[in-house]
Structure 1
Amino acid sequence: MAESVVSVVLGNLNNLAIQETTFLCAVTLEVNLLKEELMRLQAYLKDTDNKWRSGNARVAVFVKQIRDAAYEGQNVIEAADYMEKRNRLKRGFMGAISRYARLPSDLVTLRNIGVEIQSVRRKLAEIFASAENLKIDLDHTAAALVEDELPRDFSLMHQNSEDDIFMVGFQYQLTEIVDKLVGNEKMLRAVSIVAMGGAGKTTLARKVYTSSKVKQHFDTVAWVTVSQTFKGIELLKDILKQITGCTHQSVDQMQEYEVGTKIHAFFSEKRYLVVLDDVWETDTWEQLNTTVKAFPDASNGSRILLTTRKEDVAYHVQMPTHVHPLQKLDKEKSWELFSSKALPSYRRSLIDDVEEFEKLGRKLAEKCDGLPLALAVLGGYLSKNLNIQAWSYMLLGWPSTKDTQMMRDILARSYKDLSSQNLRSCFLYLAAFPEDFEISVLHLIQLWIAEGFIPHIPNHKLEETARMYVTELAQRSLVQVVHRSKAHGWIEKIRIHDILHDWCIEEARKDGFIDVHDETTGQASASSSDSLKSYRCSLQNAGDLILQTRLHLRTLVGFQLSSVPKMSFLRVLHIENSNLTGIDRVIGGCINLRYLRLRRCSELKLTSSITKLLYLQTIDLRGTLMCKRKYMPKSFWHIPSLRHVYISEFSAVRSVQQNDLQTLIIDHFFNRDVKFISQMTKLTTLSFFPGCDVDDMWYIFANMPHLVDVSIGCFQEYTEFSGHDIVIKGDPIAILEKLRCLVVLKLEGFNGEIMSFSAQGFPQLRELVLHRCSPEWRMEHCQNSLTLNCMISSG
């Protein structure tokens, strides 16, 4: 993974404004020499990985030196780049001086930077000497270096349906469980699906949960994942949010008694289904009903669906229970699942000796012992290695152990076969999220980009390449697809199976890629060596004391924290569900921050220090309680690197110096904001809830030709509908339908005139939602199938 570190550092340096600076010649030369030496260093790393993993202590020291020097070099060069960016943004007389001359303070900074670069170069010289002593062949390894490439067969990957593939052999069991849930028994009953890890419990339960028969039978449904680290109050809050539609802020402030009482009252009048996925402990049901009996028996046919690995857990629910042991796949169903992944239909026509592959494939499928996860991951791996020799070697080298170890061996092979080091880093990054966490692909992509994992590939945006990475991971069954966009076709939410999650944590620990701490389970994955410190950390209910010795961190992902110490080199800060104190002082000192997401946090006070974050790409403050001032400082909008902004409100400025913003999600929008937002001509996603005084907002779309997703109304996750409809003047469709790239349009809460859709409008529209819209709407006869295929939901 040290190779990834240097690769990422070099990629980041190439994107800096360093090439355009007016440095003193000596410093510019030092910067270029340092970059050349880092590139040379990268060539060594191909030969170190096997030696390091084999336990060679000297190589371990070598790897540590590489990582430390690479990051130190980046810190130094970015200090110079930051000074240049800061001077460009200065205004007035001092701004002119700093752009055309050097202030005394700049000269001091440059002198210090030159000294620090020389220090790093001396360390690199020592590393090169160490490489020679370790007999690492530079010429041999340099030849192995290749440029990053796109995932193979990407254009065809979407043809596989992950859900349908995983349901191979489960159709009969699906029918049986659904029948048990919708049966005639009136009293509250439970159905428990029991099987070992990787057998498909969650997949089957999800199919049951989303089946049309279940949706029609129950008045309300809720799904929560319990896992080993659950907290009863958090599960109850999640259920309450799902069944009532209450906002996160209002529910998060409730005590357990209030939450339980509200759930009980709601369920008393409904026929409900609650799914408890991945239950580990026998006392889970008792913990959920400790304060108040949240799940009443109203004698109306309500049900609990539970999945677990343990039979005693299945029988411990205090109600009549039907236990359904999930059977492993038989020989034929195993082959059907394996072949759908390893030999998909779109590849079979290209294979000359497909019969030979089938012969080997049947033997390999039988080795997987009927476990769907093993069959899917192995099939995904072999689909990328369609040659007889590779399949034969896999069969000959099959591990003698079963189940868990077998899965680990398959995972290791699939991981090493990923198409690039960048993609491997992206996969290991999933260890940063809690077990069974539902991961937003959009947010994950923004994290990967901020980390520098996504390479610049000609004719491809970073986001496009990142989505290809997600698709390859899904095609290999290394992640589970939770939700796809019907309009776009791309994957929107994923989850990683707990077996794969555990493997990711262990692999990340070996590489010193990321430290994961979870105080709830007592688990703490530190790096494989005390000397190999990690520059990334994920804290999951782990308190704050651990951070005091990690001030060098470049990435912090945290859940349920109470404070964050100052960390000068932080690039990524992702915090959720935390009551933070003093976080504004921490943020102001992290001048290298690329990604800032504070979701459902409190005690945030915005200050002008946020304008120091000149590298900031993504900021998301939704659901976070603001102290006093809730507007972004006006100078914030002059940060040149901004790409994605999610906020509640802002105070508009006359002009904005950057127009590369791609995403703007804002809760409240007023007349004063119209002119300001209209300057953001590169937006692809825009969502806002207009105030009642907005009467000419439609004109903001006149200069936004790149818009793909538009939501207007109360679509934000944390916005409660204000209770009044918005009276609009004129027909908004006349302007919106001219957006040539628009794929999704959602309008909510409007009360005005006729909306008329012309025959030539909306050439790319796939999804149209009109909710609580009282005006009459008309659509002309149109030959454009793209328009006719719109999904319309009218409230």
Structure 2
Amino acid sequence: MAESAVRTVLGSVGNLAVQETTFLCAVNLEVGLLKDELMRLQAYLKDVDCKWRSGNARVAVLVSQIRAAAYEAQNVVEAADHMEKRIRLKKGFMGAISRYARLPTDLVTLRKIGVEIQYVRRKLNEIFASADHLKIELDNIVVVEDEFLRDCGPMNGNFEDDAVMVGFEDEHKELANKLVSGEQMLSVVSIVAMGGAGKTTLARKVYTSSRVKEHFDTLAWVTVSQKFKGIDLLKDIMKQITGHKDESVNQMAEYKVGKKINEFLLENKYLVVLDDVWETDTWVQLNRMITVFPDATNGSRVLLTTRKEDVANHIQMPTHVHPLKKLDEEKSWQLFSSKALPTYKRSAILDVDEFEKLGRKLAKKCDGLPLALRVLGGYLSKNLNAQIWSDILTDWPATKDGQIMSVILARSYKDLPNHHLRSCLLYFAAFPEDYEIYVTHLIELWIAESFIPHTPNHTLEETARSYVTELAQRSLVQVVRRSTAYGWIERIRIHDILHDWCIQEARQDGFLDTSNKTAGQAGASSSSSDNLICYRFSFQTLSDQILPATPNVRSLLGFELESVSLPKLRFLRVLCIENSTLKDFSSVIGGCIHLLLAYMPYNPEEDDITQKELRQKGCKVENRWDLP
């Protein structure tokens, strides 16, 4: 991931207007020397990546230091570039007076910039010295173009994804029967199992089956998760059942929303799914203002998924609890082989029997957990080498459930073809848990973050789409929706276990930090390793405060922020704010001279001028609800 930072800086240095002026000639010399050292560093990172994959902890720290130095280099060089552009805009007699008036200040700034570049170069020299101790050859390393696209196959391949359910056929039939038959009074069907056992996959298959859709007049699905707000869930349900998606719904009070839902459902046979319920009082909170889900004695149902049996039994109405068992040995093999040895790959394997023998043993090791089977199978499908399979089996850790998942996820992460793709995966830590992500939105963020490399004969967008496809093939993302016209993946989400892993890994690496008041997580400034500086922050469900981002932050994402203020962020390049209310937004953003991409809450009366100014500076500005 440090290589992305170095590539970005080299691109900035190569395009600097500062190289065209004599006024900044001293800085230009320093920039040239810095560029030479960064080019050498970029080549060196190719070798570092191999050592990082092998688990060298000292290399991991060194990579973080390289990224920090590269970002500091870009900040100071672009400050010089901005200064020179400002000078060139001052034309004519008044411009000359203005230039001379500011000359003393500009000379001081130039000297400061030169000193800062020298400081960055000293840091790079220290990095090279550290590399000597790690016995990494910095020279004689050839920089090659990313070869990922040559091996990833068709960008929109019809591979097997979450549309295929293996191992839950009997449970699917039983649950569907419970929903469409039985007593006429309102009742609850609950699926209970540990994380990664396939609760949501099964519930989604039942929910979307033709038998269930034809039986009920109206359906709604909401994901509750650990940090839910009752009013937001109710508004989501109302939008789904009534089809009203205008701004008026968001302005309605909780009682009125509940009353509208009650009146609508009273006239319909309905199915409402509450996915991923954690607390026993969730039902009470949803119905605290008014009974939202009425019993019209017409066979309506509530389908609930949870990890806790006491949550399933807490609702005071007829309840059928379905404990979801782990997959048995044969079903585990069926699911594993569908990912690790898909039909379209078997014909190219010389000794299928050997792979099947090893695969059955590996599938058994996953202890019947569908998520573990899918991710491990996706990883091994990219490594069809019997020795690799055998080594994994020999080195299998003596751990349980969540620990097993962490080991499998770490192995899959390190096996990703390049640092660009690993950066893209860790970036999911920035989004809220159970968040449905629009791929077009995600791709623009990836490109603005410089995660997507320039590849011959492919646009950046095409390369980014191939990355999404690759992550889906490896079962690292769940496909929610595809384009019916083109087969593209349009919406995705990631499992909460993988989401938690990404957050932990991103923090440890200094890649990205998150702060979530509802979940009780520590503030961004204190959660990362003491030795690492984060340049990306994600804030969720915070209110009435100044966001605690460091001055050097480059990317800031915010979700469901209420009456918060942004600090002065001189080096901000990517801004994504959704479902939020900000104070003094225009005055702060107007000073962000490096902003490349902004997804902003849009208030026509206040933000038109700000958006126009940002576009004049070359920033791409989008409104969140403009996405398909």
TM-score normalized with structure 1 length: 0.72
Change (3 A) 1:403 1:146: farther
Counterpart of 2:583 in structure 1 is: 581
- In the TM superposition, what is the alpha-carbon distance from 1:601 to its structure 2 partner? 7.0
Counterpart of 2:554 in structure 1 is: 554
Q: Secondary structure at the residue paired with 2:590?
A: helix
Counterpart of 1:132 in structure 2 is: 129
Alignment of 1:235-634 (within 5 A): 235-524=233-522, 526-543=526-543, 545=545, 547-548=547-548, 550-561=550-561, 562=563, 563-599=565-601, 604-607=606-609, 610-612=612-614, 616-621=618-623
Counterpart of 1:72 in structure 2 is: 72
2:264 and 2:511 map into 1 onto residues whose CA distance is 46
1:460 and 1:266 map into 2 onto residues whose CA distance is 50
Change (3 A) 1:19 1:171: farther
Residues 187 and 298, structure 1, Cα contact 8 Å, conserved in 2 = yes
- In the TM superposition, what is the alpha-carbon distance from 1:172 to its structure 2 partner? 1.9
2:61 and 2:167 map into 1 onto residues whose CA distance is 50
1:309 and 1:358 map into 2 onto residues whose CA distance is 33
Alignment of 1:86-105 (within 5 A): none
The structure where helix makes up a greater share of residues is 2
Residues 527 and 533, structure 1, Cα contact 8 Å, conserved in 2 = no
2:104 and 2:433 map into 1 onto residues whose CA distance is 50
- In the TM superposition, what is the alpha-carbon distance from 1:508 to its structure 2 partner? 0.3
1:110 and 1:489 map into 2 onto residues whose CA distance is 57
Counterpart of 1:159 in structure 2 is: 158
Residue 214 of structure 2 corresponds to residue 216 of structure 1: yes
| Identity between Structure 1 and Structure 2 (%) | 59
Residue 117 of structure 2 corresponds to residue 120 of structure 1: yes
Change (3 A) 1:363 1:353: same
1:251 and 1:26 map into 2 onto residues whose CA distance is 59
**Deviation string, structure 1 residues 197-246 (Cα, Å, up to 9, x no partner):** 11111111111111111111111111100000011111111111111222
Q: Which amino acid aligns with 1:135?
A: H
Change (3 A) 1:505 1:314: same
Residues 578 and 624, structure 2, Cα contact 8 Å, conserved in 1 = no
Residues 66 and 127, structure 2, Cα contact 8 Å, conserved in 1 = no
Q: Secondary structure at the residue paired with 1:163?
A: coil
- In the TM superposition, what is the alpha-carbon distance from 1:599 to its structure 2 partner? 3.8
**Deviation string, structure 1 residues 458-492 (Cα, Å, up to 9, x no partner):** 11111000001111111000110000111111100
Change (3 A) 1:362 1:106: farther
Q: Secondary structure at the residue paired with 1:77?
A: helix
1:614 and 1:263 map into 2 onto residues whose CA distance is 45
Residues 579 and 601, structure 1, Cα contact 8 Å, conserved in 2 = no
Change (3 A) 1:13 1:270: farther
1:156 and 1:51 map into 2 onto residues whose CA distance is 26
1:268 and 1:233 map into 2 onto residues whose CA distance is 20
- In the TM superposition, what is the alpha-carbon distance from 1:557 to its structure 2 partner? 0.7
Farther off after superposition, 344-353 or 25-34: 25-34
1:480 and 1:241 map into 2 onto residues whose CA distance is 24
- In the TM superposition, what is the alpha-carbon distance from 1:173 to its structure 2 partner? 1.3
**Deviation string, structure 1 residues 758-791 (Cα, Å, up to 9, x no partner):** xxxxxxxxxxxxxxxxxxxxxxxxxxxxxxxxxx
2:3 and 2:324 map into 1 onto residues whose CA distance is 43
2:19 and 2:517 map into 1 onto residues whose CA distance is 47
Q: Which amino acid aligns with 2:162?
A: D
Residue 182 of structure 2 corresponds to residue 180 of structure 1: no
Counterpart of 1:5 in structure 2 is: 5
Change (3 A) 1:347 1:142: farther
Change (3 A) 1:92 1:39: closer
**Deviation string, structure 1 residues 656-712 (Cα, Å, up to 9, x no partner):** xxxxxxxxx8xxxxxxxxxxxxxxxxxxxxxxxxxxxxxxxxxxxxxxxxxxxxxxx
**Deviation string, structure 1 residues 406-428 (Cα, Å, up to 9, x no partner):** 11100000000101101101100
2:538 and 2:365 map into 1 onto residues whose CA distance is 36
Residues 277 and 311, structure 2, Cα contact 8 Å, conserved in 1 = yes
1:289 and 1:491 map into 2 onto residues whose CA distance is 36
TM-score normalized with structure 2 length: 0.90
1:51 and 1:386 map into 2 onto residues whose CA distance is 19
**Aligned partner of 1:196 among 170, 173, 194:** 194
Q: Which amino acid aligns with 2:534?
A: S
Q: Secondary structure at the residue paired with 1:547?
A: coil
